[in-house]
Structure 1
Amino acid sequence: MLMREKVNGFVGVMAVAILCMVSGLCMVWGIAPVVLAVYVAACAVCGRYMITCIGCAAGVAAGSMGIAGLLHAYEYMIPGPVYSGVMVTEKYLVLLGLAMCLMKIVYSRNSGSYVRVIVVMSAAVLMGNIVVYADNMLMAAAYGVVEAAIFMCASVILKPGIGLLYTYICGDASDVERDESWNISQGIVSLMALAAVVLWVVPGEDIYGVNPAFMLALVLILYAVYRTGAVYGCGMAAVAGSIVSVKLNDSRWLMWMLLVTLVMLIGRALTGRRKVSASLFYVLGCVLASVADGTVLWNGSGREIAFYYINIAVPVVLFACIPGALLGAMDEETDPACLQAAAAEINRLTACKIEDMANVFRRLDYTFAGSDEPAISLGQIGELVDGFRRQIDLIGEAREISDEKLLGQIRSLGMDEVRVTASMDSGNRSRYYVAGRTSGQGMVLSRQVADVLSGYFRKNIRAGMDSPSLFFDEYRSAVYEEAARYKGRYHVRRIKKYGSPVSGDNFSVKEYEDGRLVMMLSDGMGSGSLASCESCMMLDTMEELLEAGFAPEYSIAFANRCMSRRNKGRIFTTFDMVVIDMYDGTMRSFKQGASVTYVIRPGDDGNEVRQITSTTLPVGVLDDAECDMADVKLAAGDAVVMVSDGLSDMDVSDHMQDVLKGIRVGDSRRMVDDILGAMIGQGDVSLRDDVTVMAAVISGSEKSSAA
């Protein structure tokens, strides 16, 4: 990941440097104030002063000396000295050097310093013209004012676009200044201005019948109309058409491109924002515009007509190749009802976390009832609250996915106004939130959306446990998560001691939303009601803490400390827990004074059995008792067996090991019955304590296997 971030960062810097060089090529009548604006904005965005300066200087030299052969006048508009490429190059090299010094010394990442740099550079541009063209003060002042005005406007307009471009290329490697004052309209206008700068330097002459400027203009119009709609689409058509008209010295191309844009907008209104329909209406618009103009169709030669259609066809092919991630809607405001549905889901998740925290405090209050001293300190309360804060922060770090490929697939199910956001849970796994409604009176199953997400992300994704099963014509939101690679089938059987009214053993088995299978077994001291109460209290406390999202290590230590202070070491309970991650098959065992846990792996010559034992004190003896932990990597077909000490006490001759080596692994219920039958069925064995056996068999998820 670190190497990928470095590569993305390098590519982003090089893209900005190339943009700087292109801006230097943008010369008209010997002036290039855009290059200064692009340089200042690029330095503010990416913080690379030298490489961007080199790009700008190379572009200015190539443009002013006529090396690039671009469109510009070699005589000034105001009578005076003849155009001198060397003079323009020297002037802008000095100004670029001054801009570099100002950005390093004056600029800091706040809007005030950026404005100061713009003001100082504008004055420098004016003074530079007066010094260079001292023999004609009228020309010097006129060009100085024009260049300063263009520089000031361009510096403000182009900065958001450069920031968006750099951020998109670099991704997580970007340290771009994030200006919250930028809105979507400013970003679109800025990108359109950058597109105009690039279009200006593209050759406008035919190259073997192909016109690069004409084709790029059509690609920009296609993209702008499809992604931004009428207002910005027409604006892009006007800008691109004007530049092409100037390059080709024919004003008809402006009207030609506006007509194509109008037909595309009609198609967008009729069919919605679809890539295929946008391409079809583009072709239709080109045909209608060509018929209306008629110059090439009726008067051109066969070769001219052929290349004319090539120039029209290439842009739509290039548009079809644009990745869906670059085609998300930018102009349309999302329906407030859709935003409300997404916000309601976030609020629900936050409320659940707060409710979990409240339940923890209620349970702790119940656990410590009757204690002579407070069992929880303010520092511990602070740790609890901070843990919830981190969980809520994860909910708020969702990012919107605007890839048109994904959104189009969901819309093809019959959905409308779809929003997809993604975030990472505490296990570093993806969670997706889909908000939307059906476009008609029909309905869409949540599992259909899950299938689309699975195909797009190439993961096994399922709807969340609390998500709605259907989408209707009213906005609603659903949560989707990665499905686990494994699944567990478990069974528990508990037998109380002969003559005892209740069993002192208690157990808990729960599957959590994050893919954990947690099995807990607690055996209270002695037997009967008191033992059952203590073991039950331990499990209840652990369930509340784990449900609230706290780590098992912290939960066990916290519960042990609280139980010890409550009982003052007079009453204790054993605790045994295994946590199995169904995503990667890792298992961690936690034991405090507990009996043996067995991990069984089937083999051709009998099962391989591993024992996990404990040498620590039970829960409640000491405030800071240690907890034995062991990690095991499980695979499909493995089984985990947990037993209370009532069964371990029967195993005087290591008979349990022989039973498990020959047991058939597969059906957890049958495994429990076979174990109890083999152990209790021994002739000289009697139940001197409560007995509990828990078995879980791990198998591969069917969908995961298929994937």
Structure 2
Amino acid sequence: MIEKGMLKKGALDPIGDYVWRKAKNKSDQVKQTFLKGMETLFIRWGALIFILGVLLGRAVLLSELFPFALPFFAVVYAWQKEKSVLAAAGVIVGTFSGAILHGAFILLALLLFVLSYEWLSRKKWLPYAWVVPFTVFFATISARLAVIWLEEGTISSYSGTMSGIEAGISVILTMIFLQSIPLLMTNKRKKPLKNEEIICLIILLASVMTGAIGWVIYGLQAEHMLARYLVLVFAYAGGALLGASAGVIAGLVLSLATVANLYQMSLLAFAGLLGGLLKDGKKFGVSVGLLIGTALIALYGDGLNGASLPFMESLVAIGLFILTPKSVFLYIEKYIPGTFEYANEQQKQMKKMRDITAQKVEQFSQLFQALSKSFAFQTEEREKEREEEEVDEILSKITEKTCQTCFRKEKCWVNLFDDTYDQMAQMLDEIETRGKLSTRMRNRWKAHCHYDQQMIKMMKEELREAEARSMIVKHAQESRKLVAAQLDGVSKVMDDFVKEIHREKEAHFWQEEQIHDALSEAGLHIGHIDIYRLEEGNVEIEMSVLADIGREQAEKIIAPMLSDILKEHIIVLKEEPYEDRKEYTLITFSSAKTYQVDIGTTAVAKGGGWISGDSHAAVDIGKGKFAVAISDGMGSGEKAHEESSAALYILKTILASGMDEEMAIRSVNSILSLRSTEEMFSTLDLAMIDLQDASGKFIKIGSTPSFIKRGDKVIQIEANNLPFGMMEHAEVDVVNEQLKDGDLLVMMSDGIFDIQSAIENVEIWMKRMIGQMDTNDPQEMADRLLERVLRMSEGTIDDDMTIMTAKITRNLPEWKAIPVRPSISLRKKAQ
């Protein structure tokens, strides 16, 4: 049964919902058409320029100076010459509607500006930026002095001084209008507006309002209502600071126009400040701010008797303010730094740039993926075709050299084609697999072919050549496979990068506020907090704390409190100096890895030299993985060191990019095998340790065994692979081993196993020595092992020796989590 009220808002009324949506779409279309028409009328056709010209043509300062009209026309003439006629028409109309006596001055000033501007532009005597201000000054003072001389027959000191002041103000206004007029007359505005541009825009609008001086509506002065409306708009859009600035500027311009308006500066500034402070109350709060400011100033002046007129002017301004569409304020806020709409606009721009970047990277990823598939497909297809064509090609070359000149050719290849072909194919197979023909096959072929010995000899020669060609083709195919695999690896890395790009910095305003309040209640002084990630195991929080106690306070108090709030172990990742304020330091907090790796290394060069052919590295490659590696270049000395260090450097770079370990190994091998024609090989012993679950991957390329000491037990890890650069295609065997808390990994170069001693099996001896060591300190273990090896070899060092040890320990907090009261759960709120 349908209850009453269920049909509201089209809940069960599809026809009504369709009509409502259609009406709404039609309303939106009408609105867009109207806005587009207004933009065409005011901006493209120049109606706004004409209106501004009329008002600025009427604007006056100190009741006798007209410094607004010429700067406005000059800026329009220099900026958009095709619209300067509208500007001139507006200025002239405004002048003759409000100040007919100054019409001659305006006309002469316009004429002098055009002539002097065109002349200076052609001569190029002045920098371009100074041409407009200079010509405005020249045209203003020349026209004013000329009009005074024609009217009075002489120029007094007062007249000359006022003319100079008028020309100087005109130059200042020209500089202001150069920054502000383009903001009103183009739909391609800069983002964001500078503070100077905002102030210049307010000065322009305030100057325009002075053109309304003298317009009275039912006893209410138009310039007062427009000034208060301007203050309301900027207070609502930009807050207290911008509202107060608009009030001061509007009041100053009005007071300069008419001394009677001097009190307006205090009223407008105070109203703008109050309105901005009450901005959270929306339009009502800003309006209340204006009314309070009006009341205080009115009562301070003439008391209750003179308060009615200012109140009525304020009410009219509030009425216009309330009727102003919300879209106007949103449009203004987009260009004012610090506003919510501006932040949204900037976020949209950043998201757009991220999306474009991600799209480009994704396109490259798809390109590499397509190339990889193309290489792999071509390789597989080519292998099948080669297997099918190889026999035919060999037989064709053999018959070309033997059967073409034989008198029995027609009998063998026409009458007995199948029998001849099958026997030759069987002979090829036997020679290829056994190296010779069986007696049975030889006798059978002798009965079939007249030149059997010559044919067999030719078969062996062609098979040798085919085998050489096959090796070349095989190498090429292996190279194609490697290229395909590398392209596929690069594609996967780029896909991961695209995913990282799409992970935008989320807004965590609520969580930042909660953390700030919790730390402040604990008596900590925190500057700012920025949360970048809150995912479990991947937290990143940045905050500024006082520099003198920053690191200690962060590790002992803030990190334990964050650990309680986030319910996971949080540590201090890094500390950096704060850019703007030296009394603060910037601390970054992050999730602690479940396990940590401590490294110990020791090494000696062959014969006690300075340069070892061995290279080693231990590095956190990101994404929760830690790499420990030893590379041994062939021989010893500088050349071997260059080879081994190059192998490790390339490997670290590729692993850090996110490529798979096996593909990274193959890529390094390919690069090293192509670097030089010299026989320079390198071994590699690589251990990849996952810091979250302590799983280990061990890859050994021509290297010696490694050992894991787990209490009294020693586990040996070994694999058989050729050294780097020995073959173009490296077969990589990966040994997986689950490590545990307290395990000690021991890796070493082959120089350790090549010692000259009476030991028959060095591997067993080394395994026993590691098990007998009564230390779990990685550095002490490495030092003591090398000492034992040197003693056993009686101090002789016949090869470079390197030992690396890595201890895997569970990452336990140094400080216990500090409970936060009241208890808060940030992740629950974030979800």
TM-score range relative to shorter protein: 0.3 to 0.5
Which has the greater radius of gyration?
2
TM-score by length of 1: 0.45
